[in-house]
Amino acid sequence: MSNESNRRDFLKQSGLLTGGALLTTLPSFASSYGFHSSADDTIKVALIGCGGRGKGAALQALKSRQNVKIVAIADAFRDRLDDAYKTLNQNPELAKRVDVPEERKFVGFDAYQKAIPLADVVILATPPGFRPMMFEEAVKQNKHVFMEKPVATDAPGVRRVLAAAEEAKKKKLNVVVGLQRHYQPNYREMIKRIHDGALGDIIGGSVYWVSGGVWVKPRQANQTEMEHQMRNWYYFNWLCGDHINEQHIHNIDVANWVKRGYPVSAQGTGGRQVRTGKEYGEIFDHHIVDYVYEDGTLINSQCRHYEGTFSKVDEQFVGTKGRVDSFGRQSILKDHKGGSIYTHNGKGDGDPYQIEHDELFAAIAKNEYKFWDAENGAKSTMTAIMGRMATYSGKVVKWDEALNSNIDLFPAKLAWDAMPKVLPNADGFYPVAVPGKTVTV
């Protein structure tokens, strides 16, 4: 009970308790999820962005063993929203905690503004281009946040997230970013040992996301250009930031985590070798980047979307005393003669996607301020964007100039009949970066 009153104090302090809205009583029920089910401790959640990942995050929030309730959902598209509502209601037990009548379903570009005020915690899972403005709004309204990676697609967006991250810190708002390796037991254990010196100083490494590609949603008749790009967001930089940002950020972020810092410069190469059709928008299908850290350490990053080729999603690092063999299923630290320093077999480890929600909601329920992921999320996002700047331009890009870049990819106006900044030519092909010519900073 003391937890409960503490929590209310905490909510008051952080300006979250408005009227009697939080004091909704949920009936207690037997539950295989073992929810806390006392009255008055409901944590209200708004889901913003109803794709597969948004639905997944909402269900993970519901399974977090706290008294979580989904009270609002928002998406740009009505069909996506309806699909999410259906999915959230599929498990009868979890569905009891989905309380989203028609008047709390919000559709359109401004849907987030209507959903955020209704919640204590906001899940931001739209395409990443929208993250800065939505995170800003959530912090402004004193909400705790779970947001998916990456948290921006260009430098102005990163700067907005960094500024809002500062605000969130001042307000003691918990922010978890879906760089879930930070919540994955083998990464936590391995990197703790690396930081404790098990491998000596880390002086080099490689990080990989070389794999097949993702979904494509070819253009439909009667779609406006804005709708086409929104439906097919993976292939447009203002929405996705290219796959170096959208996927490979995970591995780049691990490099930053291991190095406890961010690179000072990047140079690299990339292009469209396999995925050349107009349906693939403007993004590259491969990037190889050298990231140089302050102490001179060079970490090579590779990402690629080629079907039918060697695949690897992993990270390797070399230290003065040993190396990381793999973070994969069996995580292994070895000395330079091949002897084992530490092995972590992931069998029995929890699901990192669930753990990130369990820990976030447990902290909120206990009035604890424990998570300030936004700053690292923004800087790791910036690292990936800096890689893209390097491969698109073919130049050496320095951290400071990258972060201060004023190239803003976001459309001047958000509306279904408004035009994004990148448009197809008469044949339907989008302009693609040309190293040596394209300016990115």
Binding positions for other proteins, rule: CB under 8 A: 52-53, 55-59, 87-88, 90, 178, 180, 208-215, 247, 307-308, 310-314, 326, 328-330, 332, 347, 351-353
Nearer to other proteins, 50 or 402 (CB): 50
| In the complex, minimum distance from the CB of residue 21 to other proteins, in angstroms, rounded to a whole number | 27
Given the structure tokens 């937890």, which residue do they identify? Answer: 3
| In the complex, minimum distance from the CB of residue 351 to other proteins, in angstroms, rounded to a whole number | 4
| In the complex, minimum distance from the CB of residue 124 to other proteins, in angstroms, rounded to a whole number | 15
H or E stretch at 349: none
Burial string for 125-164 (b: 16+ CB within 10 Å, else e) reads: bbbbbbbbbbbbbbbebbbbbbbbbbbbbbbbbbbbbbeb
What does the alpha-carbon distance between residue 67 and residue 48 come to, in Å, rounded to a whole number? 20
Short-list 130, 138, 126, CA closest to 52: 126
Nearer to other proteins, 156 or 213 (CB): 213
Given the structure tokens 């989008």, which residue do they identify? Answer: 430
289 near 266, Cβ under 8 Å? yes
Nearer to other proteins, 154 or 246 (CB): 246
| In the complex, minimum distance from the CB of residue 98 to other proteins, in angstroms, rounded to a whole number | 12
DSSP structure class, residue 186: H
31 near 93, Cβ under 8 Å? yes
What does the alpha-carbon distance between residue 341 and residue 334 come to, in Å, rounded to a whole number? 5
Written as six digits, the tokens of 360 are 């976030």
| In the complex, minimum distance from the CB of residue 214 to other proteins, in angstroms, rounded to a whole number | 5
Written as six digits, the tokens of 418 are 């408004």
Nearer to other proteins, 133 or 255 (CB): 255
| In the complex, minimum distance from the CB of residue 217 to other proteins, in angstroms, rounded to a whole number | 12
Four-residue CA torsion sign, 137, 139, 144, 146 = positive
DSSP structure class, residue 300: E
Short-list 1, 8, 86, 97, CA closest to 44: 97
Nearer to other proteins, 219 or 312 (CB): 312
Written as six digits, the tokens of 69 are 């309730």
Q: Are strands 202-211 and 265-271 parallel, antiparallel or unpaired?
A: unpaired
| In the complex, minimum distance from the CB of residue 344 to other proteins, in angstroms, rounded to a whole number | 11
What does the alpha-carbon distance between residue 248 and residue 150 come to, in Å, rounded to a whole number? 10
Nearer to other proteins, 87 or 113 (CB): 87
Residue type, 395: K
Nearer to other proteins, 54 or 263 (CB): 54
| In the complex, minimum distance from the CB of residue 204 to other proteins, in angstroms, rounded to a whole number | 19
| In the complex, minimum distance from the CB of residue 103 to other proteins, in angstroms, rounded to a whole number | 24
Nearer to other proteins, 144 or 304 (CB): 304
Nearer to other proteins, 56 or 150 (CB): 56
